[in-house]
Amino acid sequence: MAEMREPIETGCPDPWQYMHPVMRKNFGMWKYHEHPRPGVLRHVAYSGDEIWTVKVGTQRILDVFTLRKLCDIGDQYADGFVHFTLRSNLEYMIDDAAKVEPLIKAVEDAGFIVGGTQNSVSMISHTQGWLHCDIPGTDASGVVKSMMDELIDEFRNANMPNRVHITTSCCQINCGGQGDIAINVQHTKPPKINHDLVANVCERPSVVARCPVAAIRPAMVNGKPSLEVDERKCICCGACFPPCPPMQINDAEHSKLAIWVGGNHSNARGKPTFQKLVAAGIPNNPPRWPEATAIVKRILKAYKEGARDWERVNEWIERIGWPRFFEEVELPFTKYHIDTWRGSRASFNASNYIRF
C-alpha cells in the first residue's frame, strides 16, 4: 500500500523562518530597549547584539505596487526583514546603527512617514469597510485618512503624555472599535423592511435570533412570509442587517458617528477598561468628516495639555473626573450618556445563550 502523504497544514506559517537572524539568536534574551528618536527603537541583548526597528506608517489597504516599493526599500536599505504591526505599520529590522539614517531617508523620499512609537498617536486602526465587508454604514478607512492627515505631526513626533490608540469602525456592531478614542457608527432609526425580498433572501429564524432585544417577530405581509420590528424595543443596533439585507438600516442622514473614549486592554499593570460615550449624533460626512475630526482634535489637545507624564487617556479622565473632562473638551454632557436602564440585565444578551 502506498504511503500516505503528510497532511498539508494550513494557517499561520512558522514565524521563525521570517525572523531577523539577530532576533532568532537572542530570542528571550533581551536586556533592555530604548527609544532614540520617534519612529525608532533600539533593543540590546545580553550577548551585546543590537537590533534597530524603524516604524513606518502605511495606509493599511495597500496596493501591490506600494507594498513592493516598501519591500524593495527593505531589501536595499535594511537587512531584508519587515513585518506589519497590528495597526498596519511596517517595521524594518536592522542590526547596525549606521543603517538607520539612510533607511529613514529612503522611506521619507518615497513619501512615507516614520513615527508611531512610544508616546505618539499611532496609526488609527480601522475595520474592513466597503472593501471586504457587506454591512458598513461608513467608510472607516476614509475617516482614518482624513483624521491622520490632520494628526500627522502627532504620529511623527512623540509629544503625547503616553501612547494614544485611536480606532474607527464602519458599522455599529464594531468588529474593531475599542481604543483610547474610538469613532464608531451610530444608527438612529430602526431598519426599514423590504417585504417583497425577505422571503427570497433571508432565513427568518436566524434573523429573529440575531436581535439582542427580541424586537423582531415573524409576520405575514401581503400574503408573503416576512418579518416585523417592534420599534419601541429596537435599539437600532443593525445586527439584523447582515443576515437580512432587506432590513436596510444604513441611511445617509440617520446613520451618524459617535465618539467613545477610555477603552484599554488589560496589561501587566492594569485591568481592562471599557470606553464610554462622549459625543453622539455626529454627521457621517464624507469625504473628510470635519465634525468628527474636530472633536477628536479637541480631546487630544485637552489630553496633551492636562495629563501627567505616562497617563493614558482613561487614567487622565479617572483622575480629573468626567464632569471636568466634558468641560475641557467642550462637549455637552446629557442624560443620554448614562445607561442606567435596570431592565437591560434581563433582556440584553449578556451571555452566548439566546433568550427571549
Query: Site residues (CB under 6 A) for ligand SF4?
Result: 127-129, 133, 135-136, 169-171, 173-176, 190-191, 210-211, 213, 215-216, 229, 234-240, 249
Q: Which is nearer to ligand SF4, 133 or 331 (CB)?
A: 133
In the complex, least distance from residue 250 CB atom to ligand SF4, rounded to whole angstroms: 10
- Separation of alpha carbons 66 and 88, rounded Å: 14
192, 153 Cβ separation under 8 angstroms: no
Contact by Cβ (8 Å): 288, 226: no
Shortest Cβ 252–ligand SF4 spacing (Å): 16
Q: Which lies closer to ligand SF4 via its Cβ, residue 271 or residue 345?
A: 345
In the complex, the smallest distance separating the C-beta of residue 5 from ligand SF4, rounded to whole angstroms, is 38
DSSP string, 96-149: -GGGHHHHHHHHHHTT-EE---SSSBPPPEE--GGGT-S--SS-HHHHHHHHHH
Say how many residues make up the chain. Answer: 356
The nearest distance, CB 344 to ligand SF4, in angstroms, is 12
Nearer to ligand SF4 (CB atom), residue 53 or residue 167: 167
CA–CA dist 88, 80 (Å, integer): 18
Dihedral sign, Cα of residue 285, residue 128, residue 110, residue 116: positive
Distance CA 56, CA 82 (A): 10
> Following CA atoms 141, 312, 266, 114 in sequence, which dihedral angle do they give, to the nearest 10 degrees?
50
Taking the least distance from each CB to ligand SF4, the nearer of 5 and 132 is 132
Nearer residue to ligand SF4 within complex by CB, 19 or 235: 235
Q: How far is the CB of 234 from ligand SF4 (least distance, A)?
A: 3
